[in-house]
Amino acid sequence: MIATMDQAWAPDTIELIPEPGRSHLIKRLETLRQYLTTFHELAVAAILQSAGLSPEYEVRIDGATPDWMVRDRAPMLVEVWTRRQPESVRRSDLGWEVLRARLQAIPVPVWLHIVGLPDPSGSPPSSSQVRSIGSEVKHWLLSTISTPAYGDLRESAGYVFRIGGPAPGTRTLIHTPTAGAVVTTDMILKQIRSKVRKYRYLATKLSQPLVVVLAGETNSAMTLNMLVPALRGVTSVSMTLDPLGAPGVTTTTKFGKWTTNIPEVFNSALSGVGWIEVGPEAPGKLTMIPVASAALSLPDIASPLIEIDHSLTDPRS
C-alpha cells in the first residue's frame, strides 16, 4: 500500500539551516534539474544535524562556496557530488523532460518505471499525451478507492508504467528509457580530485577538515561498491543497461591506466571521502572513509546514521 509522505525530516532539516543559505537551498529544490542533487545535499545536512552539528549552506568565503560548512564543535567543509547520467544520454533524454516535470508535481514519493512503449522507436510522448498521462497517473497514485501498491501497472497513451518502489523526497520520480551508463575508477577519482583542488586552499586556510561526499543518481552505475575499491587502487567498471533504451543511442567511455592495488594519494587537505545512501523515509546513511594522506583527521562525530569505514587507514583491513 502506498501513501503520500511529507518526509518530516526534510522540512525539519531545512528549518534548522541558517539564512541566507536556507532560501537558496529551497529555490534549488524547486528546480527540476537541480532537485535530486540538492536533495542529496539536504540529506547530508540532516545526517550532520543528527550528530548535533549545525551545517550552513553555501557560505561564501574568499570567493568559494562549499556545500556545507560546520563551525561548531566539529568544524569541517563538506562538498557533495552526485553522479548523473552521461551528458550524451541526457541530450537524448531531453524529449522526456516534459513528462518528468509533469509527474514530479505529483506529491507521492515513488519511482515509476516505463516497462512498455507504444512503438519500438522509444520516442517520448507528445505534448498532448503528456497532459493525458499526467492526469491519469496522478489520479491513479492518489486514488482512495483502489490504492495502488508497489509493482502495480498502469497503461496510459500506450506507455505502461510500473510502481517500482519508494523514492527519495516528496515527489514522483520516473525512470525513462535511456542508453544506460558506465562508471570507471578514473571517473570517480577525477571528481574527488576536482573538489579537492577547488577547496583545498580554503580548508587549509581555515584549518578545517575537507570531506567530499559522493552520491549516485539511480541508473548512473555509481555505488559505494565502486567507491571503496577505487580509493584502494582497484580498477573497476560498473555499467547499467536499459532494455527499453532508444535504438542508436550509445555511450562511449575512455579508460585510463589499469595499474591496480596502488591506493590513491590525495592532497593533504582532504580528510575523508563519503558516500550518501538516501532512504525513502529517512535521510539515509552516510559512510565516511578517512584517507591516510590527510593533514587533519575527520572530526569525532557520532550518529546512528553515520558509519566510519577505516579500511583505508587500518593496515589490518
Instruction: Judge whether residue 87 has pLDDT over 80.
Output: no
Tens-digit pLDDT profile for residues 39-54: 999 999 999 999 999 9
Hey, what's the cell of 287?
A: 559512510
DSSP SS3 for 241 = coil
DSSP SS3 for 216 = strand
- Mean pLDDT, residues 156-175 taken together: 87
**Residue 248 belongs to what domain range?**
11-86+181-308
234 and 170, same domain (yes or no): no
Of 34 and 87, more confident: 34
Hey, what's the cell of 32?
A: 527540476
Asked if residue 21 is part of any domain, the answer here is yes
Number of structural domains, the chain? 2
Asked if residue 205 is part of any domain, the answer here is yes
33 and 98, same domain (yes or no): no
Is the preceding peptide bond at 168 cis, omega within 30 degrees of 0?
no
Task: In whole angstroms, give the CA distance from residue 112 to residue 161.
Answer: 6
Asked if residue 313 is part of any domain, the answer here is no
138 and 211, same domain (yes or no): no
80 and 190, same domain (yes or no): yes
Residue where a domain terminates, one of 175, 197, 221: 175
Cβ pair 44, 213 in contact under 8 A: yes
Residue where a domain terminates, one of 175, 210, 226: 175
How many distinct helices (H) and strands (E) make up the chain?
A: 8, 13
Question: Considering the entire predicted model, what is its pTM?
Answer: 0.74
151 and 241, same domain (yes or no): no
Residue where a domain terminates, one of 124, 158, 175: 175
